[in-house]
Amino acid sequence: MIERFSEYRIMWIFVFFDLPTETKRERKIYADFRKNLIRDGFTMFQFSIYLRHCPSRENADVHIKRVKKMLPKDGYVGILTITDKQFGQMELFRGCQLVTPDNPTQQLELF
């Protein structure tokens, strides 16, 4: 049971994207992609950077496949997966001030 919640087993998925928004159609595609990420449990970390907590690598793979299925035809999208241990070592700054990161939103996990 202890290994199940290991900080080396728990994963974070980051989705970085830069999509065109010059036309009304491109803005709709951008909005739909963003809404689909939110529906799949991603939260905004910064503009065009969304993240999701996953209890295991296997679960992360499921969500990565979903992101790949919703990729827009144009633009750039990056997907990065890191462990909870690596995520905990991130330093965040507001201006020159080090800030304490907010606790991630609680996600309900059904077995």
Query: CA-CA distance, 62 to 87, in Å (whole number)?
Result: 20
Q: What is the pLDDT, as a whole number, of residue 108?
A: 54
How confident is the prediction for the chain on average, in pLDDT? 89
Query: What are the extents of the domains in the chain?
Result: 3-99
The full length of the chain comes to 111
Query: CA-CA distance, 55 to 60, in Å (whole number)?
Result: 8
| pLDDT digits 0-9 by tens, 40-83 | 999 999 999 999 999 999 999 999 999 999 999 999 999 999 99
Q: What is the pLDDT, as a whole number, of residue 3?
A: 55
Average pLDDT over residues 7-17: 93
Q: What is the pLDDT, as a whole number, of residue 8?
A: 80
In the predicted model, is pLDDT for residue 95 greater than 80? Answer: yes
Q: What is the pLDDT, as a whole number, of residue 100?
A: 82
Query: CA-CA distance, 109 to 107, in Å (whole number)?
Result: 6
Query: CA-CA distance, 31 to 58, in Å (whole number)?
Result: 28
Q: What is the pLDDT, as a whole number, of residue 44?
A: 96
Its CATH architecture, for the domain 3-99, is 2-Layer Sandwich (3.30)
Q: Which of 1-5, 28-32, 89-93 has the highest mean pLDDT?
A: 28-32
In the predicted model, is pLDDT for residue 110 greater than 80? Answer: no
